[in-house]
Amino acid sequence: MSMLEETIHAGPKPKSVLQSISFLRLWAATTASGMATWALPFILGLAALDRTLTAVELGVLLAVRTAGFLGAVPVCGVLADRHSRRRVVLWSGLMGALAAPVLAVGVGRSLLLAAAAAAVMGAGQGACRPAFQALTAEVVAEPQRQQANAAITIAVRVTTLVAPSLTALLALIVSTPALLLGVGGLWLLAALIPPTGTRRCDEPAPRPGFFTEFVDGVREARRHPWFLAGLAALTAVIATGYSATGVVLPLVSRDRYHTEAVLAAAMTAYTVGALVGALVIGRWRPPAPGWAALAGLALYGFVPLSLLLPVHPILVVSAYVLAGLGIEIFNVPWFTATQREVEPAKLARVSSLDFLMSYGLAPVGLALIAPAIAHFGATAVLAVCAVVCFAAPAAAAMAPSSRRFSARP
């Protein structure tokens, strides 16, 4: 075959996803929603520090925000499959934007008003997650989705790395209500920027009930053994390894190393590791992507292991680098495979099941780990967390179709 014929058969090389205006609009919108999602608890924490909120009021606002998120995820998974995904993103962004000024008025004045606004803002956050996942599959062609998902997660990690210091600096010159209005502005950008997707859902035919449609999404998830196994592993790792991060790391930093520097360094190391992982997986195409992703997820097991053993602080920080690296080596192929393998008309419902199980159960792990430590001791609990973090992905790798996150031959 001549060089010309080889070129014709190979076809043109796909453009970088960063050259797509539609994707750049989607990327900007997801970045804005991620910044708004991250900023709210941090700003409320600052309000507690300056005594605008009490510790109890802070806990109430964060709890109702989480409740709003968990309640909206399954509902809007169904809505995003019934209607245009772009429209659902618009609704969810406007919910957050309209709730922000109400929250700004309520903080420090009316707990009931502030709690209602926080719940609405949490619902907007939960509503946009499955809709954005499904909209990505509409806007980005399949060969470019891994790069697209990596670019989105890089933006989230950069925000997490830079935003704390930026928000703290802003808090020196503007008030808490002004910061909350800024969060509302971010939600407004998330609502208005995204491109229009390719899918239309304007059929006048009557639809089954909400519960029936959600169960139909569960059936779709069950058609993919790799998805059920991977979701179980992710849920187990988040409920144990993430809980060890949230509860045990501050205690170890204070009691073993007698400094808060280990806590700060470990959390920063996790974000840096995740950023590196996203950069790597944006270009790396392993021959067995499912197994590579599950191996990355298992790296989180080094976190409870490092907290369990009396090691040098450098090893604790290194464990968090590995955990951050591994979580993105899992996340990006996981999202890409879900967008590729799941039936497009049910993608938002399956994505909502993903967020509901993995991130929805994280507060349960956080609530249980402290009583478990009090009853069984930190050594036993951390040992169990480490075993679960290593064993759950290994067990998921044994499921049919997990090697490539695909049941296709």
Q: In the structure encoding, which two tokens stand for residue 351, read together? A: 């994505």
Q: For 63-77, what is the mean pLDDT?
A: 92
Q: For residue 188, give Cα distances in angstroms to 67, 94, 156, 246, 260.
A: 22, 6, 18, 31, 37
pLDDT band at 11 (very low <50, low <70, confident <90, very high): very low
309: helix, coil or strand?
coil
| pLDDT greater than 50 at residue 7 | no
Q: What are 282-316's pLDDT values in tens digits?
A: 999 999 999 999 999 999 999 999 999 899 999 99
Higher pLDDT, 210 or 7: 210
Q: Does residue 55 have a pLDDT over 60?
A: yes
- Could you give the CA distance from residue 185 to residue 27 in angstroms, rounded to a whole number? 17
Is residue 9 very low, low, confident or very high in pLDDT (cuts 50, 70, 90)?
Answer: very low
DSSP conformational letter for 174: S
Say whether pLDDT at 5 is over 50.
Answer: no
Looking at the predicted structure, is the pLDDT value of residue 369 above 90?
no
pLDDT of residue 370 exceeding 90, the answer is no
Question: What is the pLDDT, as a whole number, of residue 13?
Answer: 46
Q: 195: which 2 tokens?
A: 């491109």
Tell me the helices (H) and strands (E) count for the chain, helix number first.
Answer: 18, 0
Closest residue by Cα to residue 41 from 112, 120, 122, 111: 122
pLDDT in tens, 197-256: 877 665 555 677 888 899 999 999 999 999 999 999 999 999 888 877 778 898 899 889
Helix (H) or strand (E) holding 39: helix 21-49
pLDDT band per the 50, 70, 90 thresholds, residue 121:
very high
Among 361, 388, 207, 228, which residue's Cα sits nearest to residue 297?
A: 388
Q: Write down the pLDDT at residue 204.
A: 52
User: Of all residues in the chain, what percent carry a pLDDT higher than 70?
Assistant: 94
* pLDDT interval class at 163 (50, 70, 90): confident
Indicate whether 20 pLDDT > 80: yes
User: 306 or 10: whose pLDDT is higher?
Assistant: 306
d(CA 57, CA 295): 41
C-beta of residue 190 within 8 angstroms of C-beta of residue 93 = yes
pTM: 0.89
Residue 113 has pLDDT above 90, yes or no: yes
Residue-level pLDDT at 214 = 92
Quote the pLDDT of residue 373: 86
Tokens for 181, please give them: 């209005």
pLDDT in the model for residue 2:
39
Percentage, residues of the chain above pLDDT 90: 66
Of residues 409 and 334, which shows the higher confidence score?
334
Q: In terms of pLDDT, which residue wins out, 169 or 61? A: 61
pLDDT value at 31 more than 50: yes
Please compute the mean of the pLDDT values over residues 108-126 and round it to a whole number.
94
The CA distance from 217 to 76, in Å, is 12
**Cβ-based burial of 326 (10 A; exposed 0-12, middle 13-18, buried ≥19):** buried
The pLDDT tens digits of the residues spanning 310-351 come to 999 999 999 999 999 999 999 999 999 999 999 999 999 999
